[in-house]
Amino acid sequence: MKHHIRIAPPGPKASRIIEITKKHTYDSTFVYPLVIKGGHDCVIEDVDGNEFLDFTSNVGSCPLGYSHPEILQVLKEYSNNGAHKIAGQDFYSEEHAALAERLVSILPRGFKVFLINSGAEAVENSIKIAYRKMGPLPGVSCKNAFHGRTLGALTFTSSKPVQKTNFPELPVLRIKFCITDDDPEINSAENILKENKVAFIISETVQGEGGYSIASKKFIQNLRKLATKYGVPLILDEVQSGLGHTGKWWAFEHYGVEPDIMSMAKALQVGATGFRVELEPTEKGVISSTWGGGARIDMAVGAKTIQVIEKEKLLENAIKMGTVLKNGISELCGKNGIEDVRGIGLMIGIECQSKERRDAVLLSMFRHGILALGAGQKAIRIIPPLIINEEQVNEGISVIHESCSAL
């Protein structure tokens, strides 16, 4: 991809846009000076004509890459719809019904869904459904978790101090997120449940912002058993891992368990809370949302995304390409400042020896035309679109090797 970097970024157009943005907005979590103009396949184009191979999927939000013909057709069909955004919990729409029906078809049996706008809202409504059932008791969450940054979800987030300092919390009890079956703290949740009444247990199976750490099978299965034993709802957060990036629709399927409540977003294009029918609030208006799933366009794209993943067998591609990608990157383990490579499907984490080393590798990859993002304290997250092919995977592996060895 080096030959696609026509002007060393940021070019003149990008520099001007970045300057205006920094002048008028809070400079929050921007990683490097990329100003996106468009894209095709797994390639993102910037405003100065540079092309980058995307290993971020915009944090998993673009599972079909860019300019997929079936998605473009949906956008074309809605281009003249003057009522493209409605108050989705006050009025009905065909798009809302179609997305809900398609989504329920890939969820555990006996689930319903509530459509909202974002991952944080999906978590907020997950915990509200649990509170409504159990009462305003403490929730149990994992250390290094990320569940969103609205204040309710932020209580159960603990990945970085900068996200939490001086913000209030709801009652919470924390357990270790165990990545090995022999972790001495793998049964710590039972000690909490023996001594405390709680409203729910919430966990990821792949910690996203926390560093792409993969939960041990025994840990997740223990949470399921304990939740059942003590009559506590188990919430699994699939906002980043859901809709195919692990090679299954939902990451929890790798563990042979089902949640009671789950949060979804990103690749779905809207937010959604899934829940067992028996947990559905009996009163209208207990949970609500201004837009109820975002724009009608977003809901139509979400439904089409599920259909395309099925039709093009992209779950299988995620497993196949993820294996090639992980094996290729794993050759770096123990050298060039790389301590570990882990992952499931096309969700792969590269643990560097320090934050400084991680940031230098990310910048080098960017300058060589590959986009990736940080996660945790010193990890790189790799999450390409589900449509990625072997040539692009090998290109990415080559640049990652070059970026690590050149520093």
Q: Provide the CATH number for the domain around residue 324.
A: 3.90.1150.10
Q: Provide the CATH number for the domain around residue 151.
A: 3.40.640.10
CA distance 115 to 389: 32
The confidence score (pLDDT) of residue 131 equals: 98
Cβ-based neighbour number of residue 22 at 10 Å: 11
Which domain-ending residue is among 261, 294, 327?
Answer: 294
The confidence score (pLDDT) of residue 320 equals: 98
Which domain-ending residue is among 294, 324, 346?
Answer: 294
Q: What is the DSSP string of 294-340?
A: S-HHHHHHHHHHHHHHHHTTHHHHHHHHHHHHHHHHHTTTTSTTEEE
Which domain-ending residue is among 294, 329, 353?
Answer: 294
The confidence score (pLDDT) of residue 303 equals: 98
Q: Provide the residue-wise pLDDT of the chain in tens; the chain has 407 residues.
A: 455 899 999 999 999 999 999 999 998 888 899 999 999 999 999 999 999 999 999 999 999 999 999 999 999 999 999 998 888 888 999 999 999 999 999 999 999 999 999 999 999 999 999 999 999 999 999 999 999 999 999 999 998 899 999 999 999 999 999 999 999 999 999 999 999 999 999 999 999 999 999 999 999 999 999 999 999 999 999 999 999 999 999 999 999 999 999 999 999 999 999 999 999 999 999 998 878 887 899 999 999 999 999 999 999 999 999 999 999 999 999 888 999 999 999 999 999 999 999 999 999 999 999 999 999 999 999 999 999 999 999 999 999 999 998 77
Strand, coil or helix: 241: coil
Query: Would residue 77 count as lying in a domain?
Result: no
Structure confidence by residue, pLDDT tens digits, 291-315:
888 789 999 999 999 999 999 999 9
Q: Are residues 289 and 319 in the same domain?
A: no
Query: Would residue 338 count as lying in a domain?
Result: yes
Q: Are residues 52 and 128 in the same domain?
A: no
- Cβ(87)–Cβ(294) below 8 Å: no
- Backbone φ and ψ for 32, nearest 5 degrees, come out as -150, 170
Q: Are residues 205 and 237 in the same domain?
A: yes
Query: Which residues fall within 8 angstroms of residue 58, CB to CB, at 6 or more apart?
Result: none
Which is it for the CA torsion 164, 166, 169, 174, positive or negative?
Answer: positive
Which is it for the CA torsion 267, 324, 370, 24, positive or negative?
Answer: positive
The confidence score (pLDDT) of residue 88 equals: 83
Q: Are residues 178 and 118 in the same domain?
A: yes
Q: Are residues 134 and 262 in the same domain?
A: yes
The confidence score (pLDDT) of residue 89 equals: 84
Overall number of domains in the chain: 2
- Cβ(292)–Cβ(364) below 8 Å: no
Q: Are residues 196 and 327 in the same domain?
A: no
Please indicate, yes or no, whether the overall pTM of this predicted structure exceeds 0.75: yes
CA distance 35 to 22: 13
Q: Which domain holds residue 317?
A: 2-67+313-406
Q: Are residues 122 and 262 in the same domain?
A: yes
CA distance 235 to 45: 38
Q: Are residues 41 and 143 in the same domain?
A: no
